A and B are shown apart, each in its own frame.
Chain A
Amino acid sequence: MTQSVVVQVGQCGNQVGCRFWDLALREHAAVNKKGIYDEALSSFFRNVDTRSAGDGPDIYKGKICSLKARALLIDMEEGVVNEILQGPLRDVFDSKQLITDVSGSGNNWAVGYKVYGCQYRENIVEKLRKTAEHCDCLQCFFIIHSMGGGTGSGLGTFVLNLLEDEFPEVYRFVTSVYPSGEDDVITSPYNSVLAMKELNEHADCVLPIENESLFDIVNKIHQMVNSGKLGSTVKPNSLVTSSAGITKTVQEKPFDAMNNIVANLLLNLTSSARFEGSLNMDLNEISMNLVPFPRLHYLVSSLTPLYTLADVNIPSRRLDQMFSDAFSRDHQLIQADPKHSLYLACALLVRGNVQVSDLRRNIERLKPSLHFVSWNQEGWKTSLCSVPPVGHSHSLLALANNTCVKPTFMELKDRFMKLYKKKAHLHHYLQVDGMEQGCFSEAISSLSDLIEEYNELDATKSGLRTAPSRLKIAV
């Protein structure tokens, strides 16, 4: 069994990360009734004897003593991390896993990347090494950050770069929250594009998320629950947005519901690697199957169901509805419509009591309405994990490598160009040591190249492509 380390950077990264750890503990608590420290737990948690002062040795088997998250919390201002450390999750984090500063990055990518990057490089490397040493077989780094700010965006991508240098064999999965059109940070287009260049070059897989989509999903759930359209009541603990876990907060903070969705995404992504099933899918299989060309590693994700009704017996029509939902606009975590764009590859990660015949039936049913690239007409990767998420009897996470990310990137480019043409706010960046105009032009050309690659693929969508002629053998 392999281990993964979560690196959460910036305010957004840490808030999402906090929700992730809460939900992870809840999930494992539901599965692991006997309190034995098993392999599934070890993928994200260490088992430490905290009675011995200082760095107690890890306990690999036997009863759970004290669980510590395999995580690194990085933020250049203290507010968010302090809140986590004072909250119910304080025991899950080791004080040696934190890197904080006081003044923040001022929503400036250059400050995050160049200034703090340089300053904290050694510290970060050392702490990463320590975390890696506690792992038997480290397979994957999960980076959680936002693109629009300064720390998550700048320092986050600096850390990404660092991970590639120091741990080249370990996969880098990045969960990036992209700014929406009406973002309150004016310079978010600059930050995002500068960060995109790093994601293009150093990430193995990127899961872009847009706040707008999360917001829409949260609203939809509230409407459904409050409108009484649902016959029976919604099952407790089944809301994808609920944080009814170890943190018994009565008042949910506004972003909590949205962050829960992202946290669930990460849980479902890793479920088949942690728990058993009839068709397992490890994390290295995700990048192997969904990334046909190195730079096209942006995956559109969608999660269903968002809630479960109280009736226990789910007839198979409901199951089919789950599959249909995964391909609808409303369930995507970015503002995109994969159904009307070109699929390069698609993965279905199913959890719970679902069998291969259900999978096959639904793939056959949905296939005709989806456009797949000519050289990957049957490009489906599937996995079946027998352990369902808490509160549900089954769930589906769909990951698609689809050209529908192109409009998102194009919009980003447009917003960038609007500012850049007028050189608005540029001086904030250029006055940082190590930043020059070249950084900007390189970044925008990297983004343009990426958009062009998607364009070329889209062009093949309509044309009839004859199959390449096969090798001829002399008889």
Chain B
Amino acid sequence: MSIVAVQLGQCGNQIGREVFNTICGDVRGTHGLCSKKENEAYHDACTERFFSEAESGVPIARAVLVDMEPKVISQTLSIAARSGHWKYDDQSHFCQKQGSGNNWANGYSVHGPRNKEVIMNLVQKEVEKCDRLSGFFTIMSMAGGTGSGLGAFVTQCLRDAFPTSFILNHVIWPYGTGEVIVQNYNSVLTLSHLYQSSDALLVHENDVIHKICAQLMHIKQISFRDVNQVIAHQLGSVFQPAHTAEAGLHYSRNPLGDLMETLVPHPEFKMLGLRNIPQMPENSLAFSSFSWPGLLKHLRQMLIANAKMEEGIDWQVQPPCPGNSISSSHSTNKLLHFNTSIANLVILRGKDTHSVDLGSFRDPSLYTSWLNPQDAFNAWKTPRAFNKYEKSASLVSNSQFLLKPLDSVVGKAWNMFASKAYLHQYTKFGIEEEDFLDSFTALEQVISSYTNL
């Protein structure tokens, strides 16, 4: 089954290009470390998922590019084509002349309705190229105007037009110290609207990725390109083909469906965080080797202690002991910042995955009480190594990972809202104070739900 990507705004298009680049590079690479048969199956599954065939033989990404001003899309199309190994469909993009001005209301209430038909037609065309549609993967930032506002509108349209398909929104959380001054308003409006139409929100925080670039990848002068490449690697590690437990010897045919099934048991809890280890500069790869027990020990502690990467993990944090009464375990949790999970998915790629012991992730104390640990934890594996890493482990987690960032964004937005700053810019395009209040209420509800896990 295929996934159609919708790249929205500058961020969405820049990241989307890196994602397809990484996936293509991985599939074509010779570091598969597995049998030829396995490699071929991987290659076929991946191609079906992300690319369509062309007469020229160059795979065409299953993607729709949307932006409200032309510079980024033309750059994206040309850089992709220049690689020679893949490209975008020349028709599959839409842009206007004047951007959204970092204004969510402009993206949602003006550009959205005005361009709905054209955009949905492009999506329909891409969908028709698929034999079977697994669902949609939208890439957008929360901070700007197009990705956020138009993105929220398009997600709603997708939900209306394709009620039975899965929609996964990949959302970029902006740097805490501002790329855009009204980013907190835009974020609050985006998240509250996406929550209604999307199946799950997979989040990447710029601050976190920036740290990974600095401390793990040792990049001195970090550019957005570097950040986007790390994000692309992490996304690739989730979406490249893998064997789920049920599918057995074949690669999973329904990646988005499987993801939702394992991770989103309840519609109130849709925020997914992503961790991937190991991460290191490419030229160190040949000199490093890891063991699965070591990697998984780190990954588990990253989950429990809400660490963003494999350096600086707080090993003091431990899950509460069973047998304590609920109230005291709650307070100790809060004291030690223990991260409670609803559901977790671990994806292992590379050498010796078949012999890995994942029992530590099935510990019931990691999870809320209302799900069976057997249901709460799932693992996907493939012997095929990913993107030149001999061993790579990813964790997609529906847990309190994003509670603090969410709380922080809502707090800052509320603070600004109380002084009524910038509101005239939104009311100009039809988003009124009541709309803001609705969004705040919706997100406070989400925060409350995650806090009380």
Q: Which residues of chain A have a CB within 8 Å of any CB of chain B?
A: 1-2, 39, 136-137, 139, 276, 278-280, 282, 284-285, 287-294, 316, 344-345, 347, 355-358, 360, 363-364, 367, 374-382, 384, 467-468, 470-473, 475
Complex contact B425–A291 (CB within 8 A): yes
| Assembly CA distance A470 to B445 (angstroms) | 12
Contacts of B97 in A (CB 8 A): 1-2, 136-137
Is the CB of B410 closer than 8 A to any CB of chain A?
yes
Q: Could you count the A-B residue pairs with CB atoms below 8 Å apart for me: how many are there?
A: 144
Residue of A with least CB distance to B441: A471
Contacts of A360 in B (CB 8 A): 175, 177, 210
Contacts of A357 in B (CB 8 A): 210, 213-214, 219-223
| Assembly CA distance A355 to B214 (angstroms) | 13
Complex contact B71–A1 (CB within 8 A): yes
Contacts of B440 in A (CB 8 A): 471
Is the CB of B400 closer than 8 A to any CB of chain A?
no
Which of A345, A367, A374 makes the CB contact (< 8 A) with B177? A367
Complex contact A1–B69 (CB within 8 A): yes
Complex contact A293–B421 (CB within 8 A): yes
Known: A289-B181, A375-B421. Is A468-B415 also a contact (CB below 8 A)? yes
| Assembly CA distance A2 to B68 (angstroms) | 11
5 further A-B contacts with Cβ under 8 Å, apart from A280-B99, A285-B145, A470-B411, are: A280-B72, A293-B421, A376-B421, A378-B177, A468-B418
Count contacts on B: residues with CB < 8 A to the other chain: 53
Complex contact B179–A382 (CB within 8 A): yes
Which 9 A-B residue pairs are closest in the complex by CB-CB distance?
A: A284-B101, A357-B222, A380-B178, A292-B421, A137-B97, A468-B418, A355-B223, A278-B224, A289-B181
Which of B69, B181, B220 makes the CB contact (< 8 A) with A282? B69
Which of B99, B214, B227, B445 makes the CB contact (< 8 A) with A284? B99
Contacts of B420 in A (CB 8 A): 293
| Assembly CA distance A364 to B178 (angstroms) | 11
Quote the shortest CB–CB distance from A47 to chain B (angstroms).
17
Known: A289-B181, A364-B177. Is A473-B441 also a contact (CB below 8 A)? yes
Q: Which residues of chain B have a CB within 8 Å of any CB of chain A?
A: 10, 14, 69-72, 75, 97-99, 101-103, 145, 175-182, 210, 213-214, 219-225, 227, 410-412, 414-416, 418-422, 424-425, 440-441, 444-445, 447-448, 452
Which of A1, A39, A279 makes the CB contact (< 8 A) with B224? A279
| Assembly CA distance A10 to B297 (angstroms) | 73
Contacts of B69 in A (CB 8 A): 1-2, 280, 282
Complex contact B98–A2 (CB within 8 A): yes
Complex contact A375–B415 (CB within 8 A): yes
Contacts of A139 in B (CB 8 A): 98
Complex contact B418–A289 (CB within 8 A): no
| Assembly CA distance A241 to B182 (angstroms) | 35
Residue of A with least CB distance to B422: A292
Complex contact B102–A276 (CB within 8 A): no
Complex contact B103–A288 (CB within 8 A): yes
Quote the shortest CB–CB distance from B229 to chain A (angstroms).
13
Quote the shortest CB–CB distance from A306 to chain B (angstroms).
24
Complex contact A467–B415 (CB within 8 A): yes
Quote the shortest CB–CB distance from A133 to chain B (angstroms).
16
Contacts of B102 in A (CB 8 A): 284-285, 288-289, 381
Contacts of B412 in A (CB 8 A): 377-378
Complex contact A289–B421 (CB within 8 A): no
| Assembly CA distance A377 to B220 (angstroms) | 28
Contacts of A376 in B (CB 8 A): 181, 416, 421
